[in-house]
């Protein structure tokens, strides 16, 4: 069980390999394993939010005491450079320069960084919760939440964002960004990674690199290749109702699917779909997983028991 627990954790983080993903899918075919998987997932989510309020107060107090930057924008970059050189991390120096360019003139940024094997939890002024994993950085302007909600981020963290339709929550990692209204997700975007990964637990987000963008919703796994600058999206569904999956596929492929047998609509399944696959490939996968047949009719598809 310990082996599959490690694989499951990689799945929750969005870093699971294709081979382990296949093994996990086969393992989840047994009902008792699917139940255990849900328990592990609940524990993972609770850990991401645990002790947020008390640790947030202490962490921000420590940051505020150690980072008293001058209001003059021409001199504010000097303390940043001293701080990052003291940390002996050139990657953090680049983060500091990007932060200085992002901040409005005269504003003092709030900054947080974690070391190896360290985590910090924060609750922002808008109620959004962020759990920073090891070797990660987070920063935002002092007026966060007044007009805009933008943060600068590198590393890995889980986000639970408070909904605010008038002020989207925007995460910047170089030229890569994530825009959300209210949702929960895990983002891994270390500057040394060749792949950035976003695992969306709930809600909807827009991921963007320069002019290229795509939307993701609950259950999607988005990967961005920092070398090729290309996106890849997968639909990750754990114990999803077939009726809900059909709705997702209709939106994704712009098709209409009729479920011929109402009892089929309540079937649950674990499935991973690469959205680059054709709809015909997805139909073939569903027919392999379930005793169903999917046939093309005049203006729609019909899913029926085999």
Average pLDDT over residues 194-222: 88
pLDDT reading at 171 higher than 80: yes
C-beta atoms surrounding 195 within 10 Å: 15
pLDDT at 39: 73
pLDDT at 108: 61
**Model confidence pLDDT, tens digit, residues 97-144:** 455 445 554 556 677 888 888 888 888 889 999 999 988 888 888 788
Across 122-131, 160-169, 206-215, 264-273, least confident range = 264-273
For the chain, what percent of residues have pLDDT higher than 90? 12
Conformation bin of residue 212: beta by default, left when phi > 0, alpha when psi is -120 to 50: beta
Average pLDDT over residues 49-71: 45
- Structural domains in the chain? 1-49 (no CATH), 53-228 (2.60.120.1440), 238-306 (3.55.50.30)
pLDDT reading at 70 higher than 60: no
The gap between the terminal CA atoms of the chain, to the nearest Å, is 34
Q: Which one is predicted more confidently, 245 or 171?
A: 171
pLDDT at 157: 93
CA distance 28 to 38: 10
Question: The tokens of 3 are what?
Answer: 């082996």
CA distance 80 to 69: 8
Average pLDDT over residues 168-182: 89
C-beta atoms surrounding 17 within 10 Å: 10
Instruction: Report whether 105 contacts 76 (CB < 8 A).
Output: no
pLDDT at 43: 73
Burial class (CB in 10 A: 0-12, 13-18, 19+), 51: exposed
Average confidence score pLDDT of the chain: 75
Tell me the angle at which helices 2-13 and 31-49 cross, rounded to the nearest 10 degrees: 60
**Model confidence pLDDT, tens digit, residues 16-48:** 777 787 788 778 777 677 777 777 776 766 664
């Amino acid at each position: 069980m310990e082996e599959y627990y490690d694989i499951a954790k990689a799945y929750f983080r969005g870093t699971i390999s294709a081979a382990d993903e296949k093994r996990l899918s086969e393992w989840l075919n047994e009902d008792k394993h699917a139940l255990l998987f849900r328990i592990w997932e609940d524990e993972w989510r609770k850990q991401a939010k645990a002790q947020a309020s008390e640790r947030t107060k202490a962490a921000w107090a420590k940051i505020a005491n150690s980072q008293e930057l001058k209001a003059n924008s021409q001199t504010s970059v000097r303390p940043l450079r001293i701080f990052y050189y003291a940390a002996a991390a050139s990657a953090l120096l680049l983060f500091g320069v990007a932060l200085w360019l992002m901040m409005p003139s005269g504003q003092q940024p709030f900054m947080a960084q974690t070391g190896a094997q360290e985590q910090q939890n924060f609750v922002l002024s808008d109620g959004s919760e962020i759990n920073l994993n090891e070797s990660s950085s987070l920063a935002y302007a002092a007026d966060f939440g007044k007009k805009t909600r933008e943060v600068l981020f590198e590393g890995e963290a889980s986000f639970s964002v408070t909904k605010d339709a008038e002020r989207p929550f925007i995460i910047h990692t170089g030229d890569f960004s994530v825009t959300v209204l209210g949702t929960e997700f895990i983002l891994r975007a270390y500057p040394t990674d060749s792949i950035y990964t976003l695992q969306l637990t709930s809600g909807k987000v827009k991921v963007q690199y320069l002019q290229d963008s795509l939307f993701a919703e609950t259950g999607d796994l988005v990967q961005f290749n920092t070398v090729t600058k290309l996106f890849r999206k997968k639909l990750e569904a754990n114990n999803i109702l077939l009726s809900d999956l059909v709705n997702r596929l209709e939106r994704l492929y712009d098709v209409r699917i009729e479920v011929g047998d109402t009892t089929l609509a309540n079937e649950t399944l674990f499935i991973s779909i690469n959205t680059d696959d054709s709809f015909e490939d997805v139909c073939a996968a569903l027919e392999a997983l379930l005793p169903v047949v999917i046939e093309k009719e005049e203006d729609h598809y019909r899913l029926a028991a085999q």
